[in-house]
A and B are shown apart, each in its own frame.
Chain A
Amino acid sequence: MRTYLNRHLQVLFAAIGTFARTPFASLATILIIAITLVLPSILYITLKSGQQIAEGWQGRPQISIFIDTELGAQEAKLIFAELSLHPAIETAEFLTPQQALEEFTALSGMSYELDFLGENPLPASIVAMPDQENSESDSLQALKTELEKIEGIESIRLDLEWTDKFNSLLNTAERTTYLLFALLSAALFLIVGNTIKLLIMNRRDEIEVTKLVGGSNAFVRRPFLYYGFLFGVCGGVCALVLLYFSAIYISPALENLATLYQKETLVYQLNWHELLCIVAFGGALGWIAARLSVARHLRHIKPR
């Protein structure tokens, strides 16, 4: 076991040595792998950030019900009472036109312009929250059509409408991310495979002699598998560095956005688990790509 480990270590160091002897070619390959890994990673982070934002909204859909402005305050209160007793509605809050205006001025800071209008243009409204069973998109939609039939209700807006839109957007982004991951993995396969092929061709004589003196295929194959693995791992580490610098570049813009959304941060932070995953993914892909390449090209080299 010990000698087995020793032999593997020896081959590993020899592989590192080959890297050091051809630094530019190796670095080029490593950088291409890194970029290939960075692109889907950035998409993944964007996706996760979006999901983080969406999470804040979910679980509490709101129904905004606007009362006909023609209706008097008394009749509006009656509608509020009716809604409060509706079995599907858990809580409901009544907003007089005056309260609605105050809330709007506080949020927008447009008090001056509104004063200028002279008269409050806002209707009375009711903000209702459905109970758990009716929080799903479908039942919420049914509730909306039901309430719309009540006389005196001008219009109803579901908060969910654009949560839904955002979610379907995220879904699209998710699929795109995975597709990109798959496509770029294929590209990575070709890159590593081709690099290994060139290495094999360069060392053809060496392979022939090793096979001549009885080297098994496993023995001849091993250094190339290490190359593939090392290329992948180095590419992964390089990708992390690139991601770090990308984050530094993008984050001022995102911080701006974050303050707009009154959140501390919008950017999803990769945890160490995911960081490790990127490196391991590079390594594993490199290894497998090398294995396939070696299987294709070593077969044609006969002992001599």
Chain B
Amino acid sequence: MNNNILRAEHLSKTVSTSDHELTILDDVSFELNRGQSLAIVGPSGAGKSTLLGLLAGLDTPSKGKVWLGDSELTAMDEEGRAAVRAKMVGFVFQTFQLLSSLTALENVSLPMELAGDKHALDRANKYLLRVGLAERVNHYPKQLSGGEQQRVAIARAFACQPKILFADEPTGNLDQKTGLKVCDLLFELNEQSDATLVLVTHEQRLASRCDHMITIDDGKLVESSLTNSQQ
């Protein structure tokens, strides 16, 4: 039993386009301790979202391994990775990723119901209250503003009390003021919950609020404040 919540070992991702192989991610390794927060920064197209997808088990690497807690994601099939996500992972994405056919309340409770939580609805209500949307629980996403939708997504991410939270440019689609409020909320809930936060962002100001920072450029890890046993 070690103190790592997240460990990446020689992660590479290549995709084959029509005429040649394209390397999106090239030999990335690092490890992150429980309860700490990590910012992944770098220019557009560097491979940040790709890396996040591999770390969260949404995608599989061409080479290398990923551990999330005690589970080796890269040794699991899609069902196994989905089960790990349901049990210990929360997501906040730039595009909110809410189900348009479900109300705010149903969106927040869905992952908990998937994980078999009997108090899903109670907890969903509680978290919607905490993000300031008590009045909007029965509204559908299209009835909510972008900032409100992102708050629903944040409530959904924290309500299932994840061990680790992945956020990919959570403020990317919001104006600066709203983005700032959403970010405050994200960090506040994160501190209260002892979850590990992995945040992809363009904004230096946001990145500096995290305990650690790694920089990706052209698929390579070019700068890291993390210790790395692999190198």
CB of B144 closer than 8 Å to a CB of A: no
Knowing A209-B98, A212-B91, the reply to whether A217 touches B78 (Cβ < 8 A) is yes
CA distance A212 to B58 in the complex (A): 7
Establish whether residues B58 and A210, one from each chain, have CB atoms under 8 Å apart when the complex forms.
Answer: no
Give residues of chain A (203-234) contacting chain B, Cβ–Cβ below 8 Å: 205-206, 208-217, 219
Establish whether residues A209 and B79, one from each chain, have CB atoms under 8 Å apart when the complex forms.
Answer: no
Establish whether residues A214 and B83, one from each chain, have CB atoms under 8 Å apart when the complex forms.
Answer: yes
Name the distance in Å between B7's Cβ and chain A's nearest Cβ: 21
Knowing A219-B114, A302-B58, A303-B58, the reply to whether A212 touches B79 (Cβ < 8 A) is no
Q: Closest chain A residue to B80 by CB distance? A: A216
Establish whether residues B115 and A214, one from each chain, have CB atoms under 8 Å apart when the complex forms.
Answer: yes
Give residues of chain B (97-117) contacting chain A, Cβ–Cβ below 8 Å: 97-101, 110-111, 113-115
Interface size class, chain B? 20 to 34
Provide the residues of chain A in CB contact with B78, threshold 8 Å: 217
Given A213-B85, A214-B85, 18 more pairs with CB closer than 8 A: A3-B118, A7-B113, A205-B100, A206-B99, A212-B85, A213-B111, A213-B114, A214-B84, A214-B86, A214-B87, A214-B114, A215-B86, A216-B82, A216-B83, A217-B78, A217-B79, A219-B114, A303-B82
Knowing A209-B98, A217-B82, the reply to whether A304 touches B111 (Cβ < 8 A) is no
Choose one: A7, A210, A213; the contact of B91 (CB below 8 Å): A213
CA distance A217 to B84 in the complex (A): 13
CA distance A7 to B116 in the complex (A): 11
Residue pairs across A and B with CB atoms within 8 Å: the count is 54
Name the distance in Å between A268's Cβ and chain B's nearest Cβ: 47
Q: Closest chain A residue to B116 by CB distance? A: A3
Name the distance in Å between B186's Cβ and chain A's nearest Cβ: 17
Name the distance in Å between B98's Cβ and chain A's nearest Cβ: 7
- Which A residues are closer than 8 A to B by beta carbons? 3, 7, 205-206, 208-217, 219, 302-304
Provide the residues of chain A in CB contact with B99, threshold 8 Å: 206, 209-210
Name the distance in Å between A88's Cβ and chain B's nearest Cβ: 73
Show 11 A/B contacts (Cβ-Cβ < 8 Å), sorted by A.
A206-B101, A209-B98, A210-B99, A213-B86, A214-B86, A215-B86, A215-B114, A217-B79, A303-B82, A303-B85, A304-B97
Name the distance in Å between B170's Cβ and chain A's nearest Cβ: 14
CA distance A219 to B85 in the complex (A): 14
Q: Closest chain B residue to A299 by CB distance? A: B78
CB of B89 closer than 8 Å to a CB of A: yes
Q: By CB atoms of chain B within 10 A, which of A211, A212, A217 has the most?
A: A212
Mark interface residues in B127-155 (1 if CB within 8 Å of A CB, else 0). Answer: 00000000000000000000000000000
Knowing A217-B79, A302-B59, the reply to whether A210 touches B110 (Cβ < 8 A) is yes
Provide the residues of chain B in CB contact with A304, threshold 8 Å: 58, 97
